[in-house]
Structure 1
Amino acid sequence: MTIAVVTDSSACLEPGAARSAGITIAPLHVFVGGVDLRESVDDIPTDFAAGGPVTTAGSSPGELVELYGAALEQSGGAGVVAVHISSGLSSTWDGARQAAAELGDRVRVVDSAAVAMGLGYAALSAARVAAGGGTLDSVFAEAVAVSARTRCFIVVDRLDHLRRGGRIGAAAALLGTALAMKPVLHLADGKLVLKEKTRTSTKALGKLVEAVAAVSGESGVALTVHHMQCEARAATVASMLADRIPQIVTLETLPFGAVVGAHVGPGAVGVAVCPQV
């Protein structure tokens, strides 16, 4: 019997990678023109934000009870470890706790305090331990450990989307004259906060690379560059990282999913950093 690993669609895991790792994905929700679209399940147009305001929602307790229950059955009762988007960014964490409480102590949930591949790294690592015959305790511990050492940074082209979605946290002090600035943001204690102010996109991307290098450690690091409809900009950042950080073990470029993209807006570039141990 193998411990089942669950994450949510905000991890931005490629479907093939999730299937290969045996990870179950809980879909988050994007409301486009009043229509509820489930990320990773329903087709979401690439220009989903072009028609007006877009809102998002986490997975509900009912959805997670059903999903965790199926995963628990698939594991033969061995257990489930569910690693989710930061509780500071989504209601999914509250739903996860409620669902786990309903199903009992064979279901354990982890607040990754991250998003995108900052979350994905923890889920993938937990799945590797599970596939190797890990116990519920060891799979849970791996998810917690990887979450603790992972970092997430982002540069947004405009702050409007974060402001509307209520995700800007301590960076709210920037608002007003800040819309003319290019801030470097990061997740701290699971919330999006300001790391540094810059005045141009070029400077912001340079500071982004410096911030990533500062937390990459010395024994190897996995990096994922995410972007929202700006593949060329992401490729530039990936090249800058490759030149700046010699200890890179893996470096990939992935688009943000629709849920994250709805909040960061077009032109956003983020980097998830997972130092090796």
Structure 2
Amino acid sequence: MGKVAVVTDSTAILPDDLGAAGELITVVPLQVIIDAEAHEDGTPETSPEAITVALSAKRQVSTSRPAPALFAEVYADLAARGYTEVVSIHLSGEMSATVESAQIAAGSAPIPVTTLDTRAVGPCVGFAVLAAATAILGGADAATAVANARARAEATRSFFYVDTLEFLRRGGRIGPAAALLGSALAVKPLLAIEDGQVVVHERVRTAARALGRLEELAVDFAGDQRVEVVVAHLGAADRAGALVEHLDERLAAGLESRSVRCVELGAALAAHVGPGLLAVVVSPALDPG
């Protein structure tokens, strides 16, 4: 059987401790442009603290996809290391041309590369990546790994709150939620990702109500399932900590021995949501073993 590698991008927000799966996974960074100066996502210049300061100071912050040449280098390196096939899993093509870069590079790669547009962002992409890597570690081929990744992305739900829609508007990532721009001062929208786009899930009148609803949405979606949960934030550690504490308690049965993972967004996503973001991502847990 061939040796299959997994490639993803820096928006996946993978756990620090990947165990054996980490040997299979390569992360390609997006570019973050701050006042016309480009930096790789994940460097000190693009830390959550640095990007929060930059956004709060109203500096110009934007992002750019990895060039196809960078993916080509990664695929060629994996081939040189003995891999015979690659599964390349990325954030929604509706929000970034990253998956397009991967597809372009795949066309001239020295080994077969299958690309997957997860139609998702952030931790949901990470859950898909881990599903693929876990399948490969269990002896699955590339096609099965892709199918598992797609299924997990489709089964995962992401809900989030932003203090303002302005950053999503600036970056062109607002999608159908643009309909709220005219009334943004009158409502606090709870957003979700559906079919690769940002949509309005529901509207509430206060920030406190919005944050409470995030908890309820996560609990309702989890139901009686075995789940893994991530809470993500940008410059909102207190809010995130409180949500983690509540979900750890309320979802204890479904989490089993796990706990809710709390992360602060990297710059490639933070640039488009702004300080104050709070998100919760709920995914059916992988089968044990």
The TM tier, using the shorter chain, reads over 0.9
How far did 1:189 drift? 0.4
> Unaligned regions of 5+ residues in structure 1, if any?
none
How far did 1:132 drift? 2.7
Between the aligned partners of 2:180 and 2:19, the Cα distance in structure 1 is: 37
Further displaced range: 31-40 or 240-249? 240-249
How far did 1:200 drift? 1.0
Between the aligned partners of 2:171 and 2:196, the Cα distance in structure 1 is: 16
Identity score, percent? 36
1:227 to 220, 226, 233: 233
Q: 1:5 to 1:41 in 2, by over 3 A?
A: farther
1:239 to 2:245 alignment? yes
Partner of 2:50: 47
Between the aligned partners of 1:164 and 1:131, the Cα distance in structure 2 is: 41
Aligned residues: 276
Q: 1:51 to 1:171 in 2, by over 3 A?
A: closer
How far did 1:225 drift? 0.2
How far did 1:236 drift? 1.2
Partner of 2:152: 146
Partner of 1:155: 161
SS at match of 2:176: helix
1:257 to 256, 262, 266: 266
Between the aligned partners of 2:231 and 2:79, the Cα distance in structure 1 is: 33
SS at match of 1:72: helix
Between the aligned partners of 1:112 and 1:176, the Cα distance in structure 2 is: 30
SS at match of 2:184: helix
TM-score (norm 1): 0.92
Partner of 2:22: 21
Between the aligned partners of 1:159 and 1:120, the Cα distance in structure 2 is: 25
Between the aligned partners of 1:10 and 1:179, the Cα distance in structure 2 is: 29
Between the aligned partners of 1:123 and 1:142, the Cα distance in structure 2 is: 9
How far did 1:2 drift? 2.9
Between the aligned partners of 1:33 and 1:206, the Cα distance in structure 2 is: 36
1:59 to 2:61 alignment? no
Contact 1:85 1:111 in 2 (8 A): yes
Q: How does 1:73-92 map to 2 (within 5 A)?
A: 73-74=80-81, 76-92=82-98
Between the aligned partners of 1:20 and 1:143, the Cα distance in structure 2 is: 14
2:220 to 203, 206, 214: 214
SS at match of 1:102: coil
**Aligned residue type for 2:35:** G
Partner of 1:273: 282
1:248 to 255, 265, 272: 255
**Aligned residue type for 1:2:** K
1:177 to 166, 178, 183: 183
Q: 1:42 to 1:61 in 2, by over 3 A?
A: farther
Partner of 1:7: 8
Between the aligned partners of 1:51 and 1:161, the Cα distance in structure 2 is: 11
Between the aligned partners of 1:42 and 1:2, the Cα distance in structure 2 is: 34
TM-score (norm 2): 0.89
How far did 1:90 drift? 0.8
Between the aligned partners of 2:108 and 2:223, the Cα distance in structure 1 is: 40
> Unaligned regions of 5+ residues in structure 2, if any?
none
How far did 1:235 drift? 0.9
Between the aligned partners of 2:62 and 2:13, the Cα distance in structure 1 is: 18
SS at match of 2:3: coil
Q: 1:51 to 1:203 in 2, by over 3 A?
A: closer
Between the aligned partners of 1:184 and 1:47, the Cα distance in structure 2 is: 26
Between the aligned partners of 1:73 and 1:131, the Cα distance in structure 2 is: 20
Further displaced range: 238-247 or 16-25? 16-25
Q: 1:139 to 1:201 in 2, by over 3 A?
A: same
How far did 1:217 drift? 4.2
1:72 to 2:75 alignment? no
Q: 1:61 to 1:179 in 2, by over 3 A?
A: farther
